[in-house]
Amino acid sequence: MPQTVLLAEDDRAIRHALERALTLEGYRVTAVADGVEALAQAHKSSPDVLVLDVMMPGMDGLEVCRVLRAEGDRTPILMLTALVETADRIAGLDAGADDYVVKPFDVEEVFARLRALLRRTSPPPAENEPGPA
């Protein structure tokens, strides 16, 4: 069963390009355009990982992250942002994000960071049962 990604990005071109790339990479993607939709979808579908743009209308990615963490949600969160200052990255991590990618980003880096986040949260593979001697 493919791993599920909830992608929240208000820039339509970036959202569609990343959704397509993630789908081609084998993920099942739900893409939304703002934080309010992201929060609703996270509650509804329990994705394996979230990719949140920091600056979105309504509720931004940091607020979505804070709300989910306050609810006890431990789903890995990768933040996307055009904000490049160290203080901005610190704010994202302090809000509960697990990792951060600055725009413009290389999609291969996003894939690698998602794999790393999912490795940390996936159960270890079941050990093979010993066969007959």
Q: Is residue 54 part of a domain?
A: yes
Q: Is residue 8 part of a domain?
A: yes
Question: Residues 100, 79: contact at Cβ < 8 Å?
Answer: yes
CATH number of the domain bearing residue 47 = 3.40.50.2300
Burial 102-133 (b: 16+ CB within 10 A, else e): beeeeeeebeebbeebeeeeeeeeeeeeeeee
State the pLDDT at residue 129.
Answer: 47
Tokens standing for 112?
A: 């690698």
Look at phi and psi of residue 58 and say left if phi exceeds 0, alpha if psi is from -120 to 50, else beta: left
Q: Is residue 125 part of a domain?
A: no
Question: Residues 5, 22: contact at Cβ < 8 Å?
Answer: yes
Strand partners, 77: 50
Q: Is residue 75 part of a domain?
A: yes
Identify the band that residue 47 occupies on the pLDDT scale cut at 50, 70 and 90.
very high
Tens of pLDDT along 84-101? Answer: 788 888 888 999 999 999
Q: Is residue 129 part of a domain?
A: no
Q: Is residue 14 part of a domain?
A: yes
Identify the band that residue 131 occupies on the pLDDT scale cut at 50, 70 and 90.
very low
Structurally, how many domains does the chain consist of?
1
